[in-house]
Amino acid sequence: MKIDILTIFPDFFRGPLDYGIVRRARETGLVEINIHDLRAFTKDKHRTVDDRPFGGGEGMVLKPEPIFECLESFGDVASREARLAPGAKQSVILLSAQGRRLDQMLAAELSALDRIVLICGRYEGVDERISEHLADREVSIGDYVLSGGELGAAVIVDTITRLIPGAVGNQNSTRQESFTEHAELTSDGPSSTCVSGGLLDYPHYTRPAEFRGMAVPEVLVNGNHEQIRNWRRKTALAKTLRNRPDLLERVALSAEDKELLAQIKLAQGTDGDGASPVSTKD
């Protein structure tokens, strides 16, 4: 996959894209990331990228010319019409608080593309002609306003890179993560048999088995894969109920899930505190 990022602050990306999975994916050629300085596409001696808004009002707006010209300089980005056609493998994305909110489903969709261009706004935003005639979609990383699109671009790059086959050592680990709804099972073992199915991920523990009097749940060290699978599903359901009950309305719960959920709610009712921490005991 090739990703181009358009920004007035190219140095912003020194660091965020140079670690861990994204760094390895760049080094192995799974993903190529190019950062473009929009000021290089200005023509005046002050390298002006912004101007006052028509109609008056606060702040400055990023001008359209440098953004159009930067994108056109690539030469291999399909037309907007072609990019909007079904099955298109390219997308030009404007980072915007007003865009479709990024979630795991959208990340999976984007990770299947060959080519992505990310346009980072600043100030009051970008000239609306960018979203009307250049970008094929607007994406927001959450319902809050950032100072610029750069953080959003880094978030998108990170979340889609880890979904590109080969980027994460064990691909099963991305299948079972929180929010992953359409997971497929490819191998045996307790970790791969406990996919998230749209719930939050189950709790993870590692050595030491006992730390400052805090013990790892017994079920995880007894080697009974069926009990581990059951415990993971139950704790994932409990955590989802506690932190993100909205997800429970969207996912398809099995009869076993419903039974486990009833047990969790009953236990919470007995505790008399719906917000109490999830029990990690079996």
If one asks whether residue 156 binds ligand SAM (CB under 6 A), the answer comes out as: no
| 66 near ligand SAM, judged by CB under 6 A | no
Q: To the nearest whole angstrom, how small is the minimum distance from the Cβ of residue 6 to ligand SAM?
A: 10
Rg over alpha carbons for the chain, rounded to the nearest Å, is 23
Between 39 and 242, name the residue whose CB sits nearer to ligand SAM: 39
By the rule CB under 6 A, 142 interacts with ligand SAM: yes
Nearer to ligand SAM, 130 or 168 (CB): 130
Identified binder of ligand SAM from the candidate list 124, 158, 177, 181, rule CB under 6 A: 124
Alpha-carbon distance of 219 to 231, in angstroms, equals 8
Tell me the closest approach of the beta carbon of residue 167 to ligand SAM, in angstroms. Answer: 23
Q: Which is nearer to ligand SAM, 117 or 228 (CB)?
A: 117
Q: Is 197 in the site for ligand SAM (CB under 6 A)?
A: no
Question: Does 144 help bind ligand SAM (rule: CB under 6 A)?
Answer: yes
Instruction: Measure the CA–CA gap between 124 and 50, rounded to whole angstroms.
Output: 10
Residue 176: other Cβ atoms inside 10 A: 21
Beta carbon nearer to ligand SAM, 123 or 205? 123
In whole angstroms, how close is the CB of 74 to ligand SAM at the nearest point? 20
Which residue type, as a one-letter code, is found at position 241? L
- By beta-carbon proximity to ligand SAM, the closer residue of 121 and 197 is 121
* 148, 190, 203, 217: which one binds ligand SAM (CB under 6 A): 148
**Bridge partners, 117 (sequence order):** 4, 92
Residue 20 touching ligand SAM (CB under 6 A) = no
User: Among 104, 105, 107, which residue's Cα sits nearest to residue 116?
Assistant: 107
- Residue 98 binds ligand SAM (CB under 6 A): yes
- For residue 59, the SS3 value is coil
Q: Which residues contact 10 (CB under 8 A, 6 or more apart)?
A: 35, 36, 37
Residue nearest to ligand SAM (CB): 121
Is the Cβ–Cβ distance between 230 and 193 less than 8 Å? no
Inter-residue contact 274 to 261 (CB < 8 Å): no
Report the distance separating Cα 260 and Cα 230, nearest Å: 9
How many chain residues are in contact with ligand SAM, going by CB under 6 A? 20
Which residue's CB is nearer to ligand SAM, number 33 or number 126? 126
Which residues does 43 contact at the CB level (< 8 Å), separation at least 6?
none
Least CB distance to ligand SAM at residue 156 (A): 9
Q: Are 71 and 104 in contact (CB under 8 A)?
A: no
CB-CB contact of 112 with 152 (8 Å): no
Under the binding rule (CB under 6 A), the answer on residue 131 touching ligand SAM is no
- 46-54, 115-123, 183-191, 226-234 -> range binding ligand SAM (CB under 6 A): 115-123
**Structural tokens at position 254:** 């099995």
Residues of this chain that interact with ligand SAM (CB under 6 A) are 95-98, 120-122, 124-126, 140-142, 144-149, 152
